[in-house]
């Protein structure tokens, strides 16, 4: 992706000063040279910070202490874009950013920007400019190492700071961090063009459909197992149905499960047992039983009344008998008065008192009168038992009739109870049959549910076909083969570049092992990894060949999301230790005072970068931050000196920004 750096901007915290602007040229090797502690090494962290890094690695002290905002003007296929980000102060980071599309490079505001965006929004817009896919690398995991490719992931190919540019153990920016390293392994095939957005879409779709296919297969297998278990019990259902008389008991169990299901299903189509007449019969029996109980109650009352009346007659008979006996006794006692009356003589002498009987006749007449009354009462009493016997016979007859009626009622009640018992047993069987039919209905319903239906079978077959088509398309796209081809292409480019460097084995083939973040160098008798070849000059040469060859490959792709700029910090450090670097960085340094071989080796670095930038036709930009003076690289074509040699008062942060403050 042809994205290049046009300007770096620093807005001061002191608003009386104008912003510091560092300009770069497109399609060239832009060199900033100078002494140590002039701010050269802050260029890469500033660019990275403005492009949405998660942490701010811009050096503290002077640069961050006196800068309010940092900006970066980009040239993109969508036009020029000014990105700026607020200095985070005491924080490690800040999300406050500024995004503005500009028509003119001169339209840089003098005053510090006001935030109109945040980091996530800026990164998303950069993703869109680079044409990155919105899909994650794993359909089942949308975050972490498998998250969608991000503009930030591509920075691994754009920066070679001091701790990376000649590192024997680490080829790419920030891949010494575990999180960045894991994400790099996923982004590398995408950046190399082995996995295109279309392939990624198909792989993402394939993962989703494979997951769904596995789910359907599990569901199908589950239903199939349930269906098999149900079919194992189908004979029991059939035999029970015969036992209830719902299927002809002479019918044998069919060999075909479908026919058995058909016979069982036919039971549900028959009218259910009609219990209306049974209910009416139960109601009639209940009514009759209640009527009998009412009649029985009345008879019990009548029986009790008869018994009471008989008891009263018995008591009355006893009283009459006692009264008759009393009358008889009284009559016997008074009977002598009659005898005396017959034998009474007026002149007779009483044998007891020797008196005449004339005076006793009146008294005797009174006794005789009483005796007559007793006799009359006795006659009347003798007539009473006849009426008593008639009443008693009548009551006894009524008693027998009531007892016969009660016996008949008891017999009728017993018959009704027997009928109700029979009806209860019939009802119980009816309930058993109804429950059986209910269970059968649920079982057949479950059978229909657990039997894989046509829709599920069709969906399974269709999804299998879709998965097969996607697998075929991905195999045809051959991402593994494309990646191997891209790596071979890289090796070819690197083999062309290495002879132009100061490497020890100029024609030894190299292989990029991106998952190991190293190179394998094959010599005549052995193969060695990068860290095994020794010498900082070799490490630098391989780093240089790797980063240039990769960008040459990116440039050869129809479309590449990787920005077309590379910033390198202190590539000459392996030749010039700090003491010599400071000496080489003096404005009056004599190039002849330095080791000729080292100067030649450093010159090769710039020649390689200049040749790569020129061969790209202006689409590749390099930014080199180094100590070496212009006398080493100034005569090389396609190299642009960004500013005169940084030293003394010429630095990234103007001295007046902090000297005036210190004086104040």
pLDDT digits over 526-550, tens only? 899 999 988 899 999 999 999 999 9
Of the chain, the end-to-end C-alpha distance in Å amounts to 47
Any domain includes 300: yes
pLDDT at residue 663 is higher than 50:
no
User: Beta strands 518-522 and 527-529: pairing type?
Assistant: antiparallel
Q: Pick from 645, 640, 609, 600: which is nearest to 626 by CA? A: 645
Query: Between 257-269 and 361-450, two packed helices, what is the crossing angle to 10 degrees?
Result: 140
pTM over 0.75: no
Residues 6+ apart with CB under 8 A from 119: 52, 54, 85, 95, 97
Rounded mean pLDDT, 364-383: 61
pLDDT at residue 582 is higher than 70:
no
Q: Pick from 53, 61, 279: which is nearest to 155 by CA? A: 53
Record the tokens describing residue 17, joined without a space.
Answer: 């000063």
Q: Structural domain tally of the chain?
A: 1
Q: Which residue has the tokens 């960045």?
A: 180
352 vs 415: which has the higher pLDDT = 415
Any domain includes 295: yes
Among 41-55, 306-320, 584-598, 629-643, the minimum mean pLDDT is found in: 584-598
Q: What are phi and psi of 504, to 5 degrees?
A: -80, -40
Report the alpha-carbon distance of residue 299 to residue 146 in Å, rounded.
Answer: 97
Q: What are phi and psi of 641, to 5 degrees?
A: -80, 115
Question: Is 523 in contact with 508 (CB distance < 8 Å)?
Answer: yes
pLDDT digits over 232-274, tens only? 677 787 788 877 778 887 788 887 777 877 888 888 777 655 4
Report the alpha-carbon distance of residue 71 to residue 110 in Å, rounded.
Answer: 12
pLDDT at residue 40 is higher than 90:
yes
Any domain includes 624: no
pLDDT at 431 (0 to 100) = 77
User: Which structural domain, as residue segments, surrounds residue 385?
Assistant: 276-432
Calculate the alpha carbon distances from 175 to 101, 160, 359, 403 in Å: 32, 11, 171, 114
Any domain includes 655: no
Rounded mean pLDDT, 55-78: 93
Q: How confident is the model at residue 353 (pLDDT cuts 50, 70, 90)?
A: low
Q: What is the CA radius of gyration of the chain?
A: 63
Question: Is 565 in contact with 72 (CB distance < 8 Å)?
Answer: no
pLDDT at 370 (0 to 100) = 63
pLDDT at residue 201 is higher than 90:
no
Rounded mean pLDDT, 345-349: 57
pLDDT digits over 267-326, tens only? 877 765 545 545 666 677 678 778 888 888 888 888 888 888 878 877 777 776 776 667
Record the tokens describing residue 34, joined without a space.
Answer: 């100078």
Report the alpha-carbon distance of residue 565 to residue 50 in Å, rounded.
Answer: 15
Q: What are phi and psi of 558, to 5 degrees?
A: -55, -45
If 0-12 CB within 10 Å is exposed, 13-18 middle and 19+ buried, where does residue 14 land?
A: middle
Rounded mean pLDDT, 458-466: 88
Rounded mean pLDDT, 349-357: 63
If 0-12 CB within 10 Å is exposed, 13-18 middle and 19+ buried, where does residue 294 land?
A: exposed
Question: Is 94 in contact with 56 (CB distance < 8 Å)?
Answer: yes
Rounded mean pLDDT, 444-470: 78
pLDDT at 142 (0 to 100) = 57
* DSSP string across 244-308: TTSS-TTPPPPS-HHHHHHHHHHHHHSPPP--HHHHHHHHHHHHHHHHHHHHHHHHHHHHHHHHH
pLDDT at residue 350 is higher than 80:
no
Any domain includes 329: yes
pLDDT at 64 (0 to 100) = 93
pLDDT at 203 (0 to 100) = 84
pLDDT at residue 664 is higher than 50:
no
Any domain includes 377: yes
- Percent of the residues in the chain that have a pLDDT greater than 70, as a whole number: 80
Q: How confident is the model at residue 579 (pLDDT cuts 50, 70, 90)?
A: very low
- Percent of the residues in the chain that have a pLDDT greater than 90, as a whole number: 42
Any domain includes 487: no
pLDDT digits over 107-164, tens only? 788 999 999 999 999 999 999 999 998 887 776 655 567 788 899 999 999 999 999 9
**Three-state secondary-structure class, residue 82:** strand
pLDDT at 302 (0 to 100) = 83
pLDDT at residue 487 is higher than 80:
yes
CATH number of the domain encompassing residue 295 = 1.10.287
Any domain includes 321: yes
């Amino acid at each position: 992706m042809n994205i290049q750096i046009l300007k770096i901007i620093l807005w001061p915290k002191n608003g009386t000063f104008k912003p510091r602007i560092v300009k770069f040229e497109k399609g060239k090797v832009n060199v900033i040279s100078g002494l140590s502690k002039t701010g050269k090494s802050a260029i890469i962290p500033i660019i990275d910070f403005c492009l949405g890094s998660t942490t701010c690695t811009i050096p503290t002290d002077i640069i961050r202490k006196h800068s309010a905002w940092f900006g970066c003007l980009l040239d993109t296929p969508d036009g020029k874009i000014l990105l700026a980000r607020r200095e985070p102060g005491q924080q490690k980071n800040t999300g406050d950013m500024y995004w503005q599309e500009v028509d003119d490079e001169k339209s840089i505001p003098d005053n510090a920007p006001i935030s109109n965006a945040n980091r996530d929004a800026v990164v998303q817009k950069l993703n869109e400019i680079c044409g990155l896919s919105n899909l994650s690398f794993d359909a089942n995991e949308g975050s972490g190492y498998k998250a969608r490719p991000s503009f930030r992931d591509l920075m691994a190919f754009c920066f070679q700071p001091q701790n990376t540019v000649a590192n024997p153990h680490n080829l790419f920016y920030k891949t010494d961090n575990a999180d960045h390293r894991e994400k790099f392994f996923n982004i590398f095939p995408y950046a190399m063009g082995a996995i295109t957005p279309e392939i990624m879409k198909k792989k993402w779709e394939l993962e989703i459909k494979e997951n769904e296919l596995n789910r359907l297969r599990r569901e199908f297998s589950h239903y199939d197992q349930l269906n098999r278990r149900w079919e194992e019990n189908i004979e029991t259902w059939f035999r029970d149905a015969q036992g209830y008389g719902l299927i002809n008991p002479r019918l044998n169990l069919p060999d075909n499960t479908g026919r058995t299901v058909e016979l069982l299903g036919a039971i549900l189509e028959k009218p259910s047992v009609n219990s209306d007449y049974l209910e009416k019969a139960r109601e009639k029996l209940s009514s009759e039983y209640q009527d009998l109980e009412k009649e029985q109650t009345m008879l019990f009352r009548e029986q009790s009344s008869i018994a009471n009346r008989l008891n009263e007659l018995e008591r009355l008979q006893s009283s009459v008998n006692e009264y008759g006996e009393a009358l008889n006794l009284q009559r016997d006692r008074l009977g002598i008065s009659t005898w005396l009356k017959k034998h009474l003589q007026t002149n007779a002498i009483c044998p007891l008192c020797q008196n005449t009987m004339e005076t006793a006749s009146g008294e005797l007449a009174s006794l005789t009168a009483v005796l007559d009354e007793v006799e009359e009462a006795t006659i009347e009493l003798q007539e009473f038992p006849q009426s008593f016997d008639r009443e008693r016979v009548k009551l006894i007859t009524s008693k027998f009739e009531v007892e016969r009626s009660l016996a008949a009622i008891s017999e009728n009640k017993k018959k009704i109870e027997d009928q109700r018992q029979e009806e209860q047993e019939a009802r119980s069987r009816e309930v058993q049959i109804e429950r059986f039919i209910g269970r059968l209905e649920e079982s057949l319903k479950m059978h229909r549910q657990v039997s894989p239906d046509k829709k599920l079978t069709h969906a399974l077959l269709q999804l299998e076909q879709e998965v097969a088509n996607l697998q075929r398309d991905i195999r045809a796209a051959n991402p593994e083969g494309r990646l191997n081809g891209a790596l071979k292409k890289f090796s070819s480019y690197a083999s062309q570049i290495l002879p132009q460097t100061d490497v020890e084995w100029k024609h030894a083939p190299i292989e990029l092992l991106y998952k190991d973040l190293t190179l394998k160098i094959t010599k005549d008798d052995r193969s060695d990894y990068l860290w095994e070849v020794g010498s900082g000059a070799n490490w630098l040469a391989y780093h240089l060949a790797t980063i240039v060859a990769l960008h040459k490959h990116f440039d050869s792709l129809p479309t590449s999301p990787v920005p077309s700029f590379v910033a390198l910090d202190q590539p000459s450090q392996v030749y010039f230790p700090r003491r010599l670097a400071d000496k080489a960085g003096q404005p009056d340094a004599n190039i002849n005072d330095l080791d000729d071989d080292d100067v030649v080796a450093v010159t090769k670095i710039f020649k390689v970068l200049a040749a790569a930038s020129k061969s790209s036709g202006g689409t590749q930009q390099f930014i080199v931050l180094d100590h070496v003076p212009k006398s080493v690289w100034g005569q090389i074509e396609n190299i642009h000196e960004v500013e005169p040699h940084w030293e003394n008062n010429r630095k990234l942060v103007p001295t007046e920004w902090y000297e005036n403050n210190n004086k104040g």
